[in-house]
Structures are given as C-alpha cells and as structure tokens.
Chain A
Amino acid sequence: DIQMTQSPSSLSASVGDRVTITCRASQSISSYLNWYQQKPGKVPKLLIYAASTLQSGVPSRFSGSGSGTDFTLTISSLQPEDFTTYYCQQSYTTPRTFGQGTKVEIK
C-alpha cells in the first residue's frame, strides 16, 4: 500500500496568515493527489484534485502543488472558517490511502 504522511500533524496560526501543509507519498503517484477539508462532526469536503485543480465552489485562497512524491496545500490568507482538519489522499491506485490529517488551530 502507498503510505501518505502529512506534516505537520497540527499547527497554530492567526487569521490572515499564509499556511502550507505538506503531504508525502511513499512512492511516486504522479499528480494523483487530492485534498479534503473536514470540520468536526462533518463530512469531508473536496478542495483540490489532481494536485492543483480547484474544485468548483472552493475559494481561490486554497491552492495545491506538487508531483511525484511531494505535495503542498497552501491557504493564502486564513479565514475563521478554515480552522479545521485537512487530509491528503492518493488516487493513483487502490487502496486509496489518506494522510493522517493536519489540524489547523487558532493561535
């Protein structure tokens, strides 16, 4: 199975900060990488697919980059509703594995 590792596992930031979350795959997955946001007790929401394509309706402050084994999710200016948990997921092969999550907390 392809292992997905996110860093950091948690971070503290303030409204308006630029935040970057990293996701590393245990082998090359080309650009088959998705990012999801999950609020407590809620359903995961697709933010970015194919490493850098913004899902329809997602604010443009979210962006993604990377290919091969290393990927990043960037939030250009944190908003109050962005303080929650983010997961990466590889869609290169089955099983479709997820990272352990990165919790973005208010500083």
Chain B
Amino acid sequence: QVQLVQSGAEVKKPGASVKVSCKASGYTFTNYAIHWVRQAPGQRLEWMGWINAGNGNTKYSQKFQDRITITRDTSASTGYMELSSLRSEDTAVYYCARDVVVTPSRFDYWGQGTLVTVSS
C-alpha cells in the first residue's frame, strides 16, 4: 500500500534551518511528484512547493522562494524540504503529499505530518 512517512517533530530557534524528510513506499517513486504543504495552528492549508520526483524539476511558492529548497533522493525514494531563516510564524505542521504528474493534479496520499516549532 502507498505510504509516505515523514521525519519526527523538530524544535528550532529563530534563524535556524529545518529539513524534513518524506519516505515513499508502495509505488514507483519517480512516476509521481511530491508537494509540500503546511498548516499553522487554526489556519488553512498553505502550499509551499513541489518536485517532480522523476526529473527533479521544482517549483516554489513566491512566499518561500528565497528560503526553501526541495530535493529528492531517488535511490531512497525520499523527498526533502528544507526551510531556512526560521521565524516564529513558521511554527506549523508540515505535510508532504503525492501528486500525479499528469492532469488533473490531486494530492491523493499524504504523509502523517511533521510539527516544526520555532521558539527562542
């Protein structure tokens, strides 16, 4: 069965960076894309960016353009999202989600979420 398993909760200080992993299983990793979505407490879902796991192409939200990096390791069927220059407003649950690379796009499987807390 398809599974996306994310790395554990993180506590970071303002200005630091965090890297969250998302290990895929149960499907051919390179045939799909991985998106990253976050949700701050009581807020709506917010899209951050995505990577085509096959060719490595990425696209980021302009909001995070200068401090986000999304990568993947095809040998490990794992995607990564690194966010730098953290501030308190980045405290949120971060999700990875699988997407087909052809239209219509949809996030059919999600990781369990990784809580990132930014606090001094």
Q: Write the residues of chain A forming the contact surface with B, with a CB cutoff of 8 angstroms.
A: 31-32, 34, 36, 38, 43-46, 49-50, 53, 55, 87, 89, 91, 94-101
Q: A43-B95, A43-B112, A44-B95 are in contact. Are A98 and B105 (CB under 8 A)?
A: no
CA distance A53 to B45 in the complex (A): 22
For chain B, the count of residues having a C-beta within 8 Å of the partner chain is 22
Knowing A89-B45, A101-B44, the reply to whether A95 touches B61 (Cβ < 8 A) is yes
Contact yes or no, A97 B108, CB < 8 A: no
Question: With A43-B95, A43-B112 known to touch, is A91 a contact of B104 (CB < 8 Å)?
Answer: yes
* Given A87-B44, A89-B45, A97-B47: A46 and B106 interface contact (C-beta under 8 Å): yes
Can you list 22 residue pairs at the A/B interface with Cβ under 8 Å? A32-B103, A32-B105, A34-B105, A34-B107, A36-B45, A43-B95, A43-B113, A44-B95, A44-B97, A49-B106, A49-B108, A50-B104, A55-B106, A87-B45, A89-B45, A91-B104, A91-B105, A91-B106, A95-B61, A95-B62, A96-B50, A98-B44
